[in-house]
């Protein structure tokens, strides 16, 4: 098995959960990576789990030749939604391909906070054969009884790395643990967590991993099936392996946007997680101000009007945070809310979001960071996130929706 124990400036690790509708795109992305290939300054490794009829393999990608020629290990059938599977890949990559800097890419479908758990119905049918005990994944490892209740209702969950064969996915609590485990292995934070997946540039996601990674790259909106342009991203890194993690994060955004030309409905952003704490404090101030204003009819109507016109995404319960605050301030919000909105906008645009862009007029009010603002009810899963606990955003959402429904 080709290994590279000599420490290089960069190792790029791409974890590809392709046991779903994205299998063909995964093959193409591996070919893109091979257009550049590993160099004496850059390791490019991947784990690709394919759709039914194929086995999962690990690759050390070199320039030219066929993809199968770069396979360095066959894993058989795996569950890419299991955090242990991702952790094993990370440990393998760090051990065999040491580097000064690491970019870990999670490649797959991504679900926003209000995206349906597409496996719930199937779990519901299967779980009826089980009376007690936990299953490996049923919405944050809930017991079977509660899973049955949730599967039969309209519960939704945020997730990434969907595995159609295993009927599994990685949720935010699991992602936090896996990235924390990588930071422990490295004895420092992961340089960049890239999410080549839909709907992952959310305040909630970044805050969840703030203590274990320096930067994230992701999209507020869904991503086209082609995903990241790996040949242009890796080509630039191969030419300049001295690139800093901050510079590479921004470069990914720029290369991604450039690759889609005049396409519509495309977003991408890079975020500095060292600013996540300040952002959370600003959102907490906003949540408190908005909650205090709910007793005023004019304030309630103002929030409702803004919510109805704010920039939203494929999952309509995800909204652009800066656009929401800007519209509130322009609509004549009270002094406390206006001040809080200004603090949020400053925290996002001047610090947290360090590079961002969009393609298409329908995305023109995107500013790089989405937040959860449901139209009807708050998911019970939201309370489990660090962001929810820190900011009081869930309390505001519940209070607001309760007031709106009662009138």
Q: Is 97 exposed, middle or buried (0-12, 13-18, 19+ CB in 10 A)?
A: buried
Residues 258 and 328 both lie in one domain: no
- Single out the residue in 271, 297, 330 at which a domain terminates: 271
Residue 302 within any structural domain of the chain: yes
Q: Are residues 284 and 213 in the same domain?
A: no
Q: Does residue 93 belong to any structural domain of this protein?
A: yes
How far apart, in Å, do the first and last CA atoms of the chain sit?
A: 67
User: Tokens 């080549």 identify what position?
Assistant: 196
The tokens of 35 are what? 């257009």
36, part of any domain? yes
Is 48 within a domain?
Answer: yes
pTM (whole model) above 0.75: yes
Tell me the CA distances in angstroms from 380 to 21, 153, 311, one per residue in order.
29, 12, 24
CA–chain centroid gap for 111, Å, is 8
* 265 and 298 both lie in a single domain: no
Q: How many folded domains does the chain comprise?
A: 2
Asked if 296 and 265 sit in the same domain, the reply is: no
Does residue 163 lie in a domain region? no
Q: Quick check: is 70 in a domain?
A: yes
CB-based contact 209:231 (threshold 8 Å):
no
According to DSSP, residue 371 is labeled E
Where is 66: in which H helix or E strand?
Answer: none
List all residues 6 or more positions away from 358 whose beta carbon is below 8 Å from its beta carbon: 221, 257, 266, 267, 364, 366
Q: Is residue 81 within 8 Å of 161, Cβ to Cβ?
A: yes
The three-state secondary structure class of 57 is strand
Q: Indicate whether 401 and 337 sit together in one domain.
A: yes
Per-residue pLDDT 10s for the chain (407 aa) are: 577 778 999 999 999 987 777 888 999 999 999 999 999 999 999 999 887 778 899 999 999 999 999 999 999 888 888 999 999 999 999 999 999 999 999 998 776 444 345 445 553 334 333 333 333 332 222 222 233 233 333 333 445 666 667 677 788 889 999 999 999 999 999 999 999 999 999 999 999 999 999 999 999 999 998 999 999 999 999 999 999 999 999 999 999 999 999 999 999 999 999 999 999 999 999 999 999 999 999 999 999 999 999 999 999 999 999 999 999 999 999 999 999 999 999 999 999 999 999 999 999 999 999 999 999 999 998 998 999 999 999 999 999 999 988 86
Domain that holds residue 294: 277-405
240 and 96 in a common domain: yes
Looking at the domain assignment, is residue 152 inside a domain?
no
Contact between residue 237 and residue 248 where contact means Cβ atoms under 8 Å apart: yes
Q: Among 271, 305, 329, identify where a domain stops.
A: 271
Same domain membership, residue 361 and residue 246:
no
Instruction: Tell me: do 104 and 238 sit in the same domain.
Output: yes
Strands, E, within 149-210: which ranges?
Answer: 159-163, 168-171, 190-196
Task: List the CATH number of the domain containing 267.
Answer: 3.40.50.11970
Any domain includes 13: yes
Q: Considering 239, 271, 303, which residue would you say is the last residue of a domain?
A: 271
Same domain, 198 and 59: yes
H or E segment to which residue 44 belongs: strand 42-49
Strand order in the sheet with 110-111: 110-111, 159-163, 168-171
Note whether 234 and 299 are same-domain residues. no
Dihedrals phi, psi of 60, to nearest 5 degrees: -110, 105
The verdict on 216 and 322 lying in the same domain is no
Burial class (CB in 10 A: 0-12, 13-18, 19+), 180: middle
Q: Are residues 288 and 329 in the same domain?
A: yes
- CA of residue 403 relative to chain centroid, distance: 31
């Amino acid at each position: 098995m080709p290994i590279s124990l000599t420490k290089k400036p960069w190792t790029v690790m791409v974890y590809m959960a392709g046991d779903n509708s994205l299998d063909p795109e995964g093959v193409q992305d591996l070919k893109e990576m091979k257009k550049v290939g590993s160099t004496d300054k850059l390791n490019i490794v991947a784990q690709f789990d394919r759709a039914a009829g194929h086995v999962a393999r690990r690759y050390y990608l070199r320039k030219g030749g066929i993809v199968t020629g770069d396979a360095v290990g066959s894993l058989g059938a795996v569950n890419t939604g299991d955090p242990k599977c991702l952790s094993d890949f990370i440990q393998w990559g760090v051990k065999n391909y040491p580097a000064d800097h690491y970019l870990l890419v999670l490649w797959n479908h991504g679900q926003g906070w209000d995206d349906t758990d597409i496996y719930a119905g199937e779990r519901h049918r299967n779980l009826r054969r089980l009376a007690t005990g936990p299953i490996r994944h049923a919405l944050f490892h809930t017991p079977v009884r509660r899973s049955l209740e949730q599967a039969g209702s309209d519960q939704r969950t945020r997730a990434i790395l969907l595995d159609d064969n295993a009927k599994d996915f990685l949720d935010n609590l699991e992602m936090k643990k896996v990235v924390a485990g990588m930071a422990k292995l490295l004895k420092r934070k992961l340089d960049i967590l890239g999410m080549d997946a839909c709907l992952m540039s959310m305040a909630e996601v970044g805050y969840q991993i703030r203590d274990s990674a320096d930067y994230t790259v992701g999209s507020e909106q869904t991503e086209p099936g082609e995903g990241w342009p790996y040949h242009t991203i890796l080509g630039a890194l191969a030419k300049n392996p001295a690139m800093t993690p901050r510079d590479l994060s921004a470069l990914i955004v720029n290369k991604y946007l450039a690759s889609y030309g005049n396409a519509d409905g495309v977003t991408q952003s890079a975020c500095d997680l060292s600013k996540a704490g300040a952002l959370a404090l600003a959102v907490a101030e906003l949540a408190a101000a908005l909650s205090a204003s709910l007793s005023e009819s004019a304030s309630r109507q103002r929030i409702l009007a803004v919510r109805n016109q704010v920039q939203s995404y494929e999952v309509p319960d995800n909204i652009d945070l800066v656009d929401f605050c800007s519209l509130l301030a322009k609509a004549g919000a009270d002094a406390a809310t206006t001040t809080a909105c200004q603090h949020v906008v400053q925290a996002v645009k001047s610090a947290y979001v360090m590079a961002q862009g969009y393609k298409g007029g329908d995305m023109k009010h995107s500013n790089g960071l989405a937040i959860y603002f449901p139209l009807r009810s708050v998911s019970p899963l939201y309370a489990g996130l660090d962001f929810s606990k820190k900011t009081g955003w869930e309390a505001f959402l519940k209070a607001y929706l309760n007031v709106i429904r009662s009138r």
